[in-house]
A and B are shown apart, each in its own frame.
Chain A
Amino acid sequence: METISLDINTKIEELYDSGKEAFSSSSALINKSREEAFCIFKKSGIPTKADERYRNINLESIFRHNYNTYIKKRAIDFKIDDVFKCDVPDLETHTILLVNGWYHNADEQLTILPGGAVIGSFLEASKKYPEIFEKHYGKIAKPEEDGLIALNTSFVQDGIFFYVPDNVILEKPVQIINILISDEDVQTMPRNLFVVGKNAQAKIVVCDHTLSAQYFLTNAVSEIFADRDSLLEIYRVQNEHNGSTQISSVFIKQLENSNVLTNTLTLHGGSIRNNINVELAGRNAENQTIGLYLCDKGQYVDNYTFIDHAVPDCYSNELFKGVLDDFASGAFSGRILVRPDAQNTRAYQSNNNILLTDDAKMNTKPQLEIYADDVKCSHGATVGQLDQNALFYLQSRGIPKKEALMMLMYGFTNEILSKITVEPLKERISGMVERRLRGELSRCNSCVMTCTDKSHSC
Chain B
Amino acid sequence: MEKEQDKILTEITENDYKYGFFTDVETEFIPVGLSEETVRLISKKKDEPEFMLEFRLKAFEKWKTMKMPEWAHLKIPEINYQDIIYYAAPKKKKQLNSLDEVDPELRATFDKLGIPLDEQKHLSGVAVDAVMDSVSVKTTFQDSLAEKGIIFCSFSEAVKEHPDLVKKYLASVVPIGDNFFAALNSAVFSDGSFVYIPKGVRCPMELSTYFRINAANTGQFERTLIVADEGAYVSYLEGCTAPMRDENQLHAAIVEIIVEKDAEVKYSTVQNWYPGDKNGKGGIYNFVTKRGICRGDNSKISWTQVETGSAITWKYPSCILKGNNSIGEFYSVAVTNNYQQADTGTKMIHLGRNTKSTIVSKGISAGKSQNSYRGLVKVMKKAENSRNFSQCDSLLLGDKCGAHTFPYIHVDNKSSIVEHEATTSKIGEDQIFYCNQRGISTEDAIGLIVNGYAKEVINQLPMEFAVEAQKLLQISLEGSVG
Contacts and interface: CB of A to CB of B under 8 A. Distances in A.
Interface of A: 52, 340-341, 343, 353, 355-385
Contact of B417 (A360, A366, A378, A383): A383
B23 interface: no
B418 A377 contact: no
A145 to B, nearest CB: 18
B397 to A, nearest CB: 7
B85 interface: no
Contacts of B423: 376-378
A382 B418 contact: yes
Interface in B274-302: none
B418 A383 contact: yes
A384 B418 CA distance: 6
A375 B426 contact: yes
Nearest to B404: A369
A122 B412 CA distance: 43
A358 B414 contact: yes
B416 A384 contact: yes
A368 B417 contact: no
Interface string B387-400: 00000001011111
Contact of B422 (A341, A364, A366): A366
B415 A358 contact: yes
Contacts of A371: 401-402
Given A370-B402, A370-B403, A375-B396, A364 B409 contact: yes
Nearest to B405: A368
A104 to B, nearest CB: 42
A281 B399 CA distance: 20
A254 to B, nearest CB: 22
Interface string B148-176: 00000000000000000000000000000
B411 to A, nearest CB: 4
A357 B413 CA distance: 7
B417 A384 contact: yes
A365 B424 contact: no
15 contacts: A341-B399, A358-B384, A359-B381, A361-B411, A363-B409, A363-B411, A364-B420, A366-B405, A366-B422, A368-B394, A370-B396, A374-B426, A376-B425, A382-B420, A384-B418
A357 B414 CA distance: 5
Contacts of B426: 373-375
Contacts of A383: 379, 409, 411, 416-418
A268 to B, nearest CB: 21
A201 to B, nearest CB: 33
B4 interface: no
Contacts of B409: 362-365, 381, 383
**Residue among A343, A369, A373, A381 with max Cβ neighbours from chain B (10 Å):** A373
Given A368-B422, A370-B404, A52 B410 contact: no
B406 interface: yes
Interface residues of B, number: 37
Nearest to B402: A371
B407 A367 contact: yes
Nearest to A379: B422
Contacts of A368: 394, 403-405, 422, 424
Nearest to B424: A377
B421 interface: yes
Nearest to B411: A383
A353 B410 CA distance: 11
B251 to A, nearest CB: 27
Contact of B400 (A340, A375, A381, A384): A340
**Residue among B407, B411, B418 with max Cβ neighbours from chain A (10 Å):** B411
B247 interface: no
A139 B180 CA distance: 40
B408 A382 contact: no
Interface in B405-461: 405-426
Contact of A378 (B384, B414, B419, B424): B424
Contacts of A362: 409-411
B390 to A, nearest CB: 9
B396 A355 contact: no
Interface of B: 71, 73, 379, 381, 384, 394, 396-426
A225 to B, nearest CB: 29
A355 B411 contact: yes
Given A367-B407, A373-B426, 7 more contacts: A52-B71, A361-B412, A363-B408, A367-B404, A371-B402, A379-B405, A381-B419
Contacts of A357: 414
Contacts of B397: 373
Nearest to A378: B423
Contacts of B401: 371, 373
Contacts of A380: 419-422
Contacts of A361: 410-412
A365 B418 CA distance: 12
Given A375-B425, A378-B424, A381-B420, A358 B381 contact: yes
B344 to A, nearest CB: 15
A328 B421 CA distance: 25
Nearest to B393: A378
Contacts of B379: 383
Contacts of A385: 414-415, 417
B381 to A, nearest CB: 6
B408 A375 contact: no
A288 to B, nearest CB: 20
A382 B391 CA distance: 12
Contacts of A374: 399, 426
B356 to A, nearest CB: 14
A355 B416 CA distance: 9
Contacts of A364: 408-409, 420
What are the 10 tightest A-B residue pairs by CB atom distance, in nearest-first order?
Answer: A373-B396, A384-B417, A383-B411, A380-B421, A355-B414, A377-B424, A368-B405, A378-B423, A371-B402, A381-B420
Contacts of B402: 369-371
Nearest to A382: B419
Nearest to B378: A363
Contacts of A376: 423-425
B414 A365 contact: no
B142 to A, nearest CB: 47
Contacts of B400: 340
Contacts of B421: 378-381
A369 B365 CA distance: 13
A308 B419 CA distance: 25
Contacts of B420: 364, 366, 379-382
B399 A373 contact: yes
B138 to A, nearest CB: 45
Given A358-B414, A383-B411, A340 B424 contact: no
B99 to A, nearest CB: 49
Contacts of A355: 411, 413-414
Nearest to A355: B414
Contacts of B415: 358, 385
A382 to B, nearest CB: 5
B340 to A, nearest CB: 15
A341 B402 CA distance: 11
A379 B406 CA distance: 11
Contacts of B407: 365-367, 381
Contacts of A365: 406-409
B410 A356 contact: no
B425 A363 contact: no
Nearest to B414: A355
**Residue among B379, B403, B419, B426 with max Cβ neighbours from chain A (10 Å):** B403
A213 to B, nearest CB: 31
A341 to B, nearest CB: 7
B398 A373 contact: yes
Contacts of B413: 355, 358
A363 B402 CA distance: 26
Contact of A382 (B398, B404, B412, B417): B417
Nearest to B377: A383
Contact of B405 (A367, A372, A382): A367
Nearest to B399: A373
